[in-house]
Amino acid sequence: MSLTTLPRIALTTERLTLRVPEERDFDAFAGWIADGARSHWVGGPGSRDEAREGFDFMRAHWAEKGFGYFHVALTATGRALGRVGISHPAHRAEPEVAYALYAASDEGQGYATEAARAVRDWGFGALGLPGLVSYIAPENLGSIALARRLGARAEGTTTGRDGREQIVYRHPRPEEART
Amino acid sequence: MTPVAPVLTTERLTLRAQTPSDAEAHAAFYGSVRSAGMGGPLDRPQAWRQFAAELGHWLLRGYGFWMVEVTETGQTVGQVGFWNPDGWTEVEIGWAMFEGSEGKGYAYEAALTARAYAYDTLGWGPLTSVIVPGNTRSEALAARLGARPERDWLSPSGRQAVIWRHPSKAELA
């Protein structure tokens, strides 16, 4: 699979459309990376060039593994909300359910939870992944709350690529999940 | 509990999960002789049970049959997807085109994309297709997709079928 012929896969939920990132989604992504208040959990703020690197990496991840981050948009309007998906870069022990909303004004609507739940169910149900975790910085209380809402529980810590400690939240398998 | 069926799009088509409003077109297909290769014809109550089984398949397996829609018009032209109920030999890729929708390459286009999803995203090995001998349109499509007859097989319901084997991801590369 080459970068130019990524699959056109989408997951749809009640309010959201999650699809493989396309070039037209780059501006929203770069806007998020530029906003350090929103992107510092992923090493931001970053320049447009740095955003380009991250964006290309997301697309390359799809090309290599057949899954990855989805661009999340509000179905009714098409407005970009964030990126949510299953990420498994080489430095991680296990595939991760990862999520980020681009704007603070979109918090509190349950969008990230709705998207992350769909991604988790797809990862277990269709991809047949044996396990899914989320790696979260201890001070990232919003992400921790979301992981807990999905039924994930902390099972230990690991060290991120930046050398900082992260908590490993393990997601329940579908037969254990009630959310 | 909602099935997470991904939506796949091709140049002309959208592959999406069943919704309740598809039951009518589904029953019409299964009520006709066109469904002979899929275990039909079925009367309406039987067709409804088949429809429910297709939806349940998504929940139980995480994959299943999509409805195939022409993106531009929204017209539902058939079904393509994966089938692996209890007692099946292994997961197969199958297709069914509704009345009047053959000869446009829709099934081929949808099957190519579904197969790529299986190989690239789900990480599956070479797929099979279970085809009732003499279903020449289906055999022709399997051959066009590069599949070859592998062995005879008796389905759980006692139907004689031939298992076709698709090329692997490596063979397609």
Q: What is the DSSP track for chain A?
A: --GGG---EEEE-SSEEEE---GGGHHHHHHHHH-HHHHGGGT----HHHHHHHHHHHHHHHHHHS--EEEEEETTT--EEEEEEEE--TT-SS-EEEEEES-GGGTTSSHHHHHHHHHHHHHHHTS--S--EEEE-TT-HHHHHHHHHTT-EEEEEEE-TTS-EEEEEEPPPTTT---
The pLDDT of residue B91 is above 60: yes
The pLDDT of residue A4 is above 70: no
As a whole number, the mean pLDDT across chain A is 94
The pLDDT of residue B83 is above 70: yes
Rounded mean pLDDT of A74-82? Answer: 98
Count: domains in chain B: 1
Q: Is A115 on the interface with B (CB under 8 A)?
A: no
As a whole number, the mean pLDDT across chain B is 95
Q: Which residues contact B59 (CB under 8 A, 6 or more apart)?
A: A125, B1, B3
The pLDDT of residue A127 is above 60: yes
pLDDT digit string (tens) for B121-156? 999 999 999 999 999 999 999 999 999 999 999 999
In this structure, what CATH number is given to the domain that contains residue B26? 3.40.630.30
Rounded mean pLDDT of A116-143? Answer: 95
Which sequence spans correspond to the domains of chain A?
3-131
Closest chain B residue to the Cα of A119, Cα to Cα: B4
Tokens of B64: 């299943």
Do the domain assignments include residue B135?
no
Q: What is the pLDDT of residue A5?
A: 80
- Among the partner-chain residues B4, B8, B123, the one whose CB lies closest to the CB of A122 is B4
Interface of B with A (CB under 8 A): 3-4, 6-10, 59, 61-63, 113, 116-117, 120-123
Give B38's pLDDT tier (boundaries 50, 70, 90): confident
Pairwise CB contact (< 8 Å): B121 & A122: no
The pLDDT of residue B119 is above 60: yes
Q: What is the pLDDT of residue B1?
A: 53
Do the domain assignments include residue B171?
no
At residue A20, what is the residue type?
A: V
- Does the domain at A3-131 match CATH 3.20.20.140? Answer given as no
pLDDT digit string (tens) for B4-24? 799 999 999 999 999 999 999
Q: What is the pLDDT of residue B56?
A: 95
Give A57's pLDDT tier (boundaries 50, 70, 90): very high
Do the domain assignments include residue B93?
yes
Q: Which residues span the domain enclosing B90?
A: 8-125
Pairwise CB contact (< 8 Å): B6 & A11: yes
Q: What is the pLDDT of residue A161?
A: 87
Give A170's pLDDT tier (boundaries 50, 70, 90): very high
Pairwise CB contact (< 8 Å): A125 & B4: yes
The radius of gyration computed from the CA coordinates of chain A, to the nearest angstrom, equals: 15
Chain A residues in contact with B4 (beta carbon < 8 A): 11, 118, 121-122, 125-126
Q: Is B17 exposed, middle or buried (0-12, 13-18, 19+ CB in 10 A)?
A: buried
Give A3's pLDDT tier (boundaries 50, 70, 90): low
Do the domain assignments include residue B134?
no
